[in-house]
Structure 1
Amino acid sequence: MARALAPRPGILLLDEPFSGLDRRLRDQVRAETLAVLRDARATCMIVTHDPEEAMRLSDRIALLRQGELVQLGTPEDLYRAPVDLGVARFFCELNEVRGRVVGGRVESALGEFAAAPHLPQGPVMVAVRPQGISFLPEGQGIPGRVRERRYLGELDLVEVEIADLERPMVARVRDAGDVRPGRTVGIAIDPAEVLVFASSGS
């Protein structure tokens, strides 16, 4: 890195620079590389297929699909306001449910949500991030049956089967409490973690 920065290049290109490292070493080297680049006030373009790496290292992200620029913006821009379903999928696992825009509202098996003004009447895809799902006592919220629960350390991953949905909903919560496979629960959806796209988005 020092050798590459010595001639003070106008721009530095790094192509998958951390892909061969194990996770712990990769995190350390990424942090050190970012510190060196900032100290040198160097402009750097990093090619990566790792969404977490892109968000941790960049001031701006250019997302390409088949060689075409799909979206350019800050990490928060691309995460919070993806231009299509494909961009949203790149940055996060999603629960995808078909819905329909009627009278400025999105109707779906998960309830109703606000529809963006640009969405026309008709079919849409409702995408819910796993962290946007929380659990309620049986009889409240959307009824579901717990299919599986896995402990991931800081988080619990819970799959819930809901009537009229082909696939179980996946939730990531800090503490699922007494939620266990086979139990009937209610779920609540945080509207801030819901994205809605025209059904042609992919």
Structure 2
Amino acid sequence: MTALTLKDLTKTYPGGNQAAVRGLSLTVESGTLTALLGPSGCGKTTTMKLIAGLIAPDAGDIRLNDRSIVGVPPERRGVAMVFQNPLLFPHLTVAGNVGFGLRMRGLSPAQIAAQVDPMLARVRLEGLDHRRPIELSGGQQQRAALARALILKPDVLLLDEPLSNLDPSLRDDMRSLIRELQRETGITTLVVTHDQAEAVALSDRIALLLDGKLAQHGPPEDFYRRPATEAVARFFGGVNFVPGQSRAGRFHSALGPLTLPRGVIDGDALLTIRPEALRLGPGPNPREARVDGITFLGTQTRVELSVSGTTLQALTTPDQAADLRSGTEIAIALPPDALWLLPSPAKP
């Protein structure tokens, strides 16, 4: 298996005012699936094209294990890329598309067929080998493109927004298929997405890019429980931020003193708590709050609260929020193990 390492990777497009990717260093561990996550324009697709060899970096290195692939032609890198649009050859059948790379390698028709048929079964396209791309659904086209990449047995598989053009129901099926095939084959895989929920459900680890730089890299739960910065926390739905100071295991702010989890360092900080972790009702770190607004969101209800002049939000179930009314006073709790301290914002 193959580890993918990016070292100080930088790319600025001609005429660009700033680098699309700036000093990016990242290791995708061998045999894992990593989501390259971030908003539009953050450098995700540029990073993928650099790895695939479709564009060249201005600086930095790209390595597969101990081998640098900078300057190596795309077809000799051991990297396969599946684009957001499947880009199947319209004049070829499904089998012809899936076996195209093998034909370019000089395999005989019999050798190609011996690999194509099992691959079509693995991506659930058996019986569709003689169809043309135009006769396939969007999900089937994407599976054919995935099969075309996997059949080459690449060292690294790159998937650029593979689910973005699919209906929600098809997304779930395709996500499960990608995860299943990656675990089955053990191919080191990097998936570009802008969808936080998709990244969390799909990946072993997430690399979050913001403004062309790596903001945080780690297991999905870290981005919810232990975000590195306020920007990371906000990208993952954080809305509660309270400035203050940590002293001797307590956080002092407009909310009054709050007990913190063990091991917190003293100093100025920004306290955050996930809206779904803020409890309505009695509990640790109790406070009195006024209900300022209630918004039904389907499976959840958002409750806007005012606590000592500070605005907080809670997410709860519709049943738990059924008796709440705007303007009423309620008890809330901020459990210490749900509190997390971020670096204090830089002063102007």
Common fold, TM-score beyond 0.5?
yes
What's 2:58 paired with?
A: none
* 1:92-129 Cα distance to aligned partner (Å, 9 max, x none): 332111111234421123341327757442x3211111
Q: Percent identity?
A: 38
How far is 1:180 from its partner? 1.5
Partner residue of 1:169 out of 312, 330, 340: 312
Give the one of 190, 194, 202 matched to 2:339: 194
The amino acid that maps onto 1:194 is: L
Partner of 1:152: 297
Q: Which residue of 2 aligns with 1:91?
A: 236
Equivalent residue for 2:258?
112
TM-score by length of 2: 0.51
Give the 3 Å change call, closer, same or farther, for CA 101–54 of structure 1 in structure 2.
same
Q: Which 5+ residue runs of structure 2 have no aligned equivalent?
A: 1-145
Q: Secondary structure at the match of 1:132?
A: coil
d(CA) in 2 for partners of 1:133, 1:19: 32
Cα distance in 1 between the residues matched to 2:281 and 2:198: 34
Q: CA–CA distance in 2 between the matches of 1:143 and 1:34?
A: 45
Q: What runs of 5+ residues in structure 1 fail to find an aligned partner?
A: none
Mapped contact 2:245–2:266 kept (Cα < 8 A):
no
Instruction: Say which of 138, 148, 158 aligns to 1:13.
Output: 158
Give the aligned residue type for 2:219: T
Structure 1 residue 177: Cα displacement: 4.1
Deviations 1:136-175, CA, capped at 9 Å, x for gaps: 27xx93222212212233322111122322xx31111122
Partner of 1:53: helix, strand, or coil? helix
Alpha-carbon displacement from aligned partner over 1:46-84 (angstroms, at most 9, x marks no partner):
111211111111112222222222322221233322222
TM-score using structure 1 length: 0.84
Counterpart residue identity of residue 312, structure 2: M
Question: Which is further off, 111-120 or 51-60?
Answer: 111-120
Task: Report the count of equivalent residues.
Answer: 196
Q: Are 1:53 and 2:227 matched, yes or no?
A: no
- How far the C-alpha of 1:39 sits from its partner, in A, is 2.4
More strand by share: 1
* Kept after mapping to 2: 8 A contact 1:147/1:160: yes
State the Cα distance separating 1:196 from its structure 2 match: 0.8
Structure 1 position 22, deviation (Å): 3.1
Query: Partner of 2:276: helix, strand, or coil?
Result: helix
Larger radius of gyration, structure 1 or 2?
2
The residue aligned with 2:184 is 39
- 1:128 maps to 273
Do the aligned partners of residues 162 and 78 (structure 1) sit closer, same or farther apart at CA in structure 2, a change above 3 Å counting? closer
How far, CA to CA, are the matches of 1:21 and 1:191 in structure 2? 41
> Which AA in structure 2 matches 1:66?
D
The two structures, once aligned, show a CA RMSD in angstroms of: 2.4
Q: Give 2:124's aligned residue.
A: none
Tell me if structure 1 keeps the 8 A contact 2:261–2:336.
no
Which piece of structure 1 moves more, 79-88 or 5-14? 79-88
Task: Give the whole-Å Cα distance in 2 for the aligned partners of 1:101 and 1:115.
Answer: 11
